[in-house]
Amino acid sequence: MTTARSIDYWGIVTRSVGIAWNHKFLWFFGFFAASGGGGGGNTANWGERGVDEIRAFFMSHIEVLVAVIMGLVLLWLVLVVMSLISKGALLSCISRADDGELIRFEDGWHAGLKAFWGMLGIGVTAFVVFLVVTALCVLAVVVPLMGGAAGVAIAVFIGAILFIPYIVFLFLLTFIVIYAEREYVIRGCGVADALSAGWELTKSCFWQSLLMWLVSFASSMAFLISLLVVLLAIAIPFILIGVASPPVGLILGIPVGIVVLILAISAYSTYDHSLWTLMYRDLTGLSAAAPQVVAAPPGERVPRNHWHTAEGGSDEEA
C-alpha cells in the first residue's frame, strides 16, 4: 500500500518565519532569488511630442541606443546569474539551519556557486518543456481558426478541453522544478536524477504540494496587504513634509520607501524559499520535524521512489 504523508503546514510556516528572522543575512540571497524571476512595471504616459523627441534622439545617436540595450541585457544576465547563485545558497543554508547547524554568509555563497550550473540546467530544461507544451496547445487552438466560422467553434471547443489539463501541467512543472532544485542542492543529485526525483515526489505528493502552494499564495497576499499598510504609515510623515515642500518630501521619502521595499521583498523571498525547502525536507523525511507516515487505504499502488519515510525506511521497502 502507498504511504500518505500528513504535513504540519502551520509548523512549516512557523519554522520558515524563524529561519528568515534569525538568519537575516539570507535576505541578501532572498532579494536576488526574487529579482531573477523578472517582473512587470508601470509605464508612464508620455505626450506625443515627448515620444517623438526621444525617438529622434535615439535615431540620431544609434551608439547610445546600442549602449542602452547592451546595458539592459548585461543587467538582466547579472540578475539571472545572481538569482541562480542565491537560490542555491538559500536552499543549502535553509536546509542546514533546519538541522540546527551554524550557517554563515560565505557558506551560502560557496554553496550557490557550486550549484549554479545544475540550477541553470534544471531551469533551462523546465523552460524548454514549458515552451514545447505551450506551443503545442497554442497550435491546437490556432490551426482550426483557419477553417472559417466552423474553425472558430472547433478552436473554442479545443481550448475549453485543454484549459484544465494545461493548468494542471503548469502546477506539475512548478512542483517538479521546486523539488528537483532541492534534490540537486541538498542531496547532491545530478540534474537528470534530480528532475526524475522531482517528478516522482510530485506524483506521490501532488495534493500535499497543492496545499502548500495555497499556503504560499495566502502568505503572499498577507505580505502584500501588510506591506501596503506599512508603506502608507511610513509615507504619512513625508506627505506632511511634502505639503510644505514637495521636493524635500520626495527626496527624503523615496529612498526610505525603496529601502523598506527591498528589505520586505528580501525577507519574504527568504521565507517563501524556506516554506518549500522545509516542505521538501518533511516529505522526504530529511527533517527532524518530519511527520509520521499514515497508511493509505488498501488497494492503492505503491509508488516506487527512493525517499525515506519518517520512520527511517524507504518507500521501496514498503
- Domain presence at residue 40: no
- Domain presence at residue 178: yes
Per-residue confidence at 53, pLDDT binned at 50, 70, 90? low
Residue 61 pLDDT greater than 70, yes or no: no
Distance CA 1, CA 298 (A): 6
Question: CA-CA-CA-CA torsion for 297, 298, 299, 302, nearest 10 degrees?
Answer: 80
- Domain presence at residue 42: no
Residue 92 pLDDT greater than 60, yes or no: yes
Of all residues in the chain, the percent with pLDDT exceeding 90 is 61
Q: What is the pLDDT of residue 314?
A: 41
DSSP letter for 23, please: -
In DSSP terms, which residues pair with 295 in a beta bridge? 3
Helix or strand (DSSP H, E) at 235 = helix 206-244
Per-residue confidence at 57, pLDDT binned at 50, 70, 90? low
Most confident of 29-43, 118-132, 279-293: 118-132
Q: What is the pLDDT of residue 38?
A: 36
Residue among 238, 222, 234 at smallest CA distance from 260:
234
- Domain presence at residue 250: yes
Contact between 15 and 98 under an 8 Å Cβ cutoff? The reply is yes
Per-residue confidence at 170, pLDDT binned at 50, 70, 90? very high
Distance CA 136, CA 161 (A): 14
Q: What is the pLDDT of residue 39?
A: 33
- Domain presence at residue 83: yes
Q: What is the pLDDT of residue 63?
A: 73
- Domain presence at residue 41: no
Per-residue confidence at 177, pLDDT binned at 50, 70, 90? very high
- Can you read off the three cell numbers belonging to residue 49? 511630442
Contact between 225 and 25 under an 8 Å Cβ cutoff? The reply is no
pLDDT tens digits, 239-278: 888 888 888 888 888 999 999 999 999 999 999 999 999 9
Distance CA 139, CA 131 (A): 12
- Domain presence at residue 44: no
- Domain presence at residue 43: no
Q: What is the pLDDT of residue 59?
A: 65
- CA dist 13 to 17, 61, 172, 215, 250, Å? 6, 53, 22, 8, 37
- Averaged over 74-101, what is the pLDDT? 93
Q: If you search the block for the grid coordinates 504535513, which residue do you land on?
A: 7
In DSSP terms, which residues pair with 294 in a beta bridge? 4
pLDDT tens digits, 111-147: 999 999 999 999 999 999 999 999 999 999 998 888 7
Domain count, the chain: 1
Contact between 122 and 195 under an 8 Å Cβ cutoff? The reply is yes
Q: What is the pLDDT of residue 29?
A: 92
- Residue 74 CB burial class (10 angstroms; 0-12, 13-18, ≥19): exposed
pLDDT tens digits, 182-221: 999 999 889 999 999 999 999 999 999 999 999 999 999 9
| Dihedral sign, Cα of residue 271, residue 276, residue 277, residue 279 | positive
In angstroms and rounded to an integer, the radius of gyration of the C-alpha atoms of the chain is: 24
Residue among 301, 298, 294 at smallest CA distance from 8:
294
Distance CA 126, CA 128 (A): 5
Q: What is the pLDDT of residue 6?
A: 75
- Can you read off the three cell numbers belonging to residue 9? 503546514
Distance CA 282, CA 279 (A): 5
Question: CA-CA-CA-CA torsion for 221, 225, 230, 236, nearest 10 degrees?
Answer: 150
Q: What is the pLDDT of residue 289?
A: 60
Distance CA 113, CA 216 (A): 27
Question: 208 is in which domain, residue-wise?
Answer: 3-34+49-313
Q: What is the pLDDT of residue 290?
A: 55
